[in-house]
Amino acid sequence: MKKYGKYAVLENVSLSLNPGEGIALLGENGSGKSTLLKILSGILAPDAGEVRIDGLSGKQAKEKIAYVPQDIVLFEELTVTENLYAWSSLRGRENTDRAEYLISELQMESFCKKRIDRLSGGQRRRVNLAAALMGNYSYMMLDEPLAGIDEQGLKCVAKLLKDEKEKGTAMIITEHNPTILLPLMDRTLRFDGGCLV
Ligand SMILES: Nc1ncnc2c1ncn2[C@@H]1O[C@H](COP(=O)(O)OP(=O)(O)O)[C@@H](O)[C@H]1O
Ligand SMILES: [Mg+2]
């Protein structure tokens, strides 16, 4: 459970994620999806209840999680490539091969030398995803990573997620359009009256 002032969300929410599993998390705006992913990623602390990740609390396990925020968090005046390097050094993974791999997988070659503030919404969304994947992680928490992405982008994100799953990364992903996600994930959970069903 999380309290925003007097207002509480995520009462009676319980879920478990198995190794290598993919869960699609659906629910109306305001149902608490983003709050749940922030708690699972160790960004927010719950006011009641607890998170256990490989025996650790959400905060302790932060390093193991690639968190892709719903809001774009990038350095606007840096280029795409510079953003990836900046995020990798923040996460302790100085790896140029990884940046090249993500630029290629997400088909960002044509705009990787541009500054973030010169990109389209869908291009920014791809960089936002790549930046989160510069760390060393075994879990991914993806908050609407497909928002505003075009057809070509959807295909490469889908392939990337499929490859990650095959490597054993477990993930929870929120999205409004379940038809894109369902084939990729093992289970679907939906918020209904504050509970997950
Ligand atoms: N920082 C905040 N301060 C106050 N209320 C918030 C804050 N973040 C989220 N909320 C409220 O909590 C509820 C759940 O929000 P959120 O987790 O973003 O839902 P979702 O991602 O499913 O749209 C909403 O009613 C929202 O207004
Ligand atoms: Mg949200």
**For 151-177, how does the pLDDT look when each residue is reduced to its tens digit (9 = 90+)?**
989 999 999 999 999 999 999 999 877
Whether ligand 1 lies within 6 angstroms of the CB of 31 is answered as yes
State which ligand 1 atom lies nearest to the alpha carbon of 70: 21
- Give the residue whose CA is nearest to atom 5 of ligand 1: 4
Residue with the bigger pLDDT between 106 and 19: it is: 106
**Greatest Cα pair distance in the chain:** 48
At residue 38, the pLDDT reads: 95
Query: What is d(CA 113, CA 177) in angstroms, rounded to the nearest whole number?
Result: 31
Query: What is d(CA 72, CA 139) in angstroms, rounded to the nearest whole number?
Result: 20
- CATH number (domain holding residue 7): 3.40.50.300
Lowest mean pLDDT among 45-49, 93-97, 137-141: 93-97
Domain count, the chain: 1
At residue 99, the pLDDT reads: 93
Q: Does residue 186 have a pLDDT over 70?
A: yes
Query: What is d(CA 68, CA 49) in angstroms, rounded to the nearest whole number?
Result: 23
Range of the domain at 143: 2-196
- Give the residue whose CA is nearest to atom 24 of ligand 1: 30
- Give the residue whose CA is nearest to atom 27 of ligand 1: 30
Q: Does residue 91 have a pLDDT over 80?
A: no
At residue 94, the pLDDT reads: 64
Neighbours of 47 (CB within 10 A): 13
Q: Read off the pLDDT of each residue in 22-41 and give the average, rounded to a whole number.
A: 93
Neighbours of 71 (CB within 10 A): 8
**Residue 115: strand, helix, or coil:** strand
The number of the ligand nearest the C-alpha atom of 69 reads 2
Structure tokens at 20: 């290598």
If we measure between CA atoms, which residue out of 120, 181, 192, 136 comes closest to residue 154? Answer: 181
Query: What is d(CA 122, CA 146) in angstroms, rounded to the nearest whole number?
Result: 8
Q: Read off the pLDDT of each residue in 52-79 and give the average, rounded to a whole number.
A: 90
The number of the ligand nearest the C-alpha atom of 191 reads 1
* pLDDT bracket for residue 89 (50, 70, 90): confident
Helix axes 121-132, 151-166, angle to 10 degrees: 10
Residue with the bigger pLDDT between 50 and 128: it is: 128
